[in-house]
Structure 1
């Protein structure tokens, strides 16, 4: 016996897609910035120095002396001459005391005391060695007050552009179903 048969043939559907990728760009412009640095405030106070010039020795070198100095020098010379004279008189007295030893001490003393000696000192020491110069510098007061920088910044937002993704669908193959009978 022949049994009829059903023959089924199916074709599946196929979907096709066209995809355009999206694109995104981001650009970040640099921020604008300006910086100013004000000068620091500074003050300087300079106290004057102390200059001392002592030319007393130079004046003495050219024999220009004060009355007090002259009196002092004269007293020193007088005391020295008095001491020398005292020593001379004592020595001469001792000579006369020993007159019995012989010789002629009176004429020897008269001969020694008849003249006098003096000394001439030409010039003196150079004047540049005789002037005392001293300098004491004055102090300086320095104060500095720094100033903070002035900074101005203008920010820039990012610039973006977007092309969205695009998907398009289409049928590559349509579905199909065929049914057939065979006897």
Structure 2
């Protein structure tokens, strides 16, 4: 006996997809930077040092006097010698007035007035210790510095962007099919 059978054969549809991805290119140019440093301004003022040397005492010790001091010294020495001479004469006159006192004033005065006192020998022209006086005023230094700030200029460059859009293409790679057939089979 033959029984009809239905046979179905199907094939599914296939979709084909082709894609091109989107592309982004980004480049960042570096920024522009300029830095300038103005030089500092420096001003210096100096007051020079001063050395004072006073050697007048040393000159006086060596008997090398200025005319004014020499006149004053000699005038004082003359005045003192005149006073001593006047005092000596007064003393000798008083002794002569008292000649009756069993003294021999003429002989004594002859010996005193007849011989001069000998001068001492020695070096008198060497200045005394610390006769030269010195004083020093140190120099003064005034330094003024004015700094200048750096001048910084910066410029940011925008990024460069390139964009290529992507694509998607779809197509049917295989069509759907359904085949139906009737087959007689024997049992």
Q: Shared fold (TM-score greater than 0.5)?
A: yes
Smaller-chain TM-score range? 0.5 to 0.7
The equivalent of 1:4 in structure 2 is 4
C-alpha separation between the residues in 1 aligned to 2:120 and 2:134? 35
Q: Is 2:144 the counterpart of 1:182?
A: no
C-alpha separation between the residues in 2 aligned to 1:34 and 1:156? 14
C-alpha separation between the residues in 2 aligned to 1:117 and 1:34? 93
Label 1:120 to 1:40 Cα distance change in 2 as closer, same or farther (>3 A).
same
Label 1:176 to 1:161 Cα distance change in 2 as closer, same or farther (>3 A).
same
The equivalent of 2:152 in structure 1 is 151
TM-score using structure 1 length = 0.61
Q: In the TM superposition, what is the alpha-carbon distance from 1:136 to its structure 2 partner?
A: 1.5
Q: In the TM superposition, what is the alpha-carbon distance from 1:131 to its structure 2 partner?
A: 4.0
C-alpha separation between the residues in 1 aligned to 2:48 and 2:159? 63
The equivalent of 2:123 in structure 1 is 121
Q: In the TM superposition, what is the alpha-carbon distance from 1:130 to its structure 2 partner?
A: 5.6
TM-score using structure 2 length = 0.59
C-alpha separation between the residues in 1 aligned to 2:124 and 2:57? 17
C-alpha separation between the residues in 2 aligned to 1:136 and 1:115? 49
C-alpha separation between the residues in 2 aligned to 1:131 and 1:52? 10
Stretch of structure 1 that moved more, 167-176 or 40-49: 40-49
Extract structure 1 runs of 4+ deviating beyond 4 A.
none
Residues 62 and 124 of structure 2 are in contact (CA less than 8 Å); yes or no, is this contact kept in structure 1? no
CA offsets, 1:38-90, max 9 Å, x none?
A: 2233333333433312122442354213538x84xx88xx9xxxxxxxxxxxx
Matches within 5 A, 1:20-169: 20-65=20-65, 67=69, 71=73, 116=118, 118-121=120-123, 124=126, 131-169=132-170
Q: In the TM superposition, what is the alpha-carbon distance from 1:30 to its structure 2 partner?
A: 1.1
The equivalent of 1:96 in structure 2 is none
Gap runs ≥5 in structure 1: 79-112
CA offsets, 1:122-144, max 9 Å, x none?
A: 8636xxx8644332224333332
Residues 55 and 132 of structure 2 are in contact (CA less than 8 Å); yes or no, is this contact kept in structure 1? yes
CA RMSD of aligned residues (A): 3.7
1:4 counterpart SS class: strand
Gap runs ≥5 in structure 2: 81-114
Residues 63 and 125 of structure 2 are in contact (CA less than 8 Å); yes or no, is this contact kept in structure 1? no
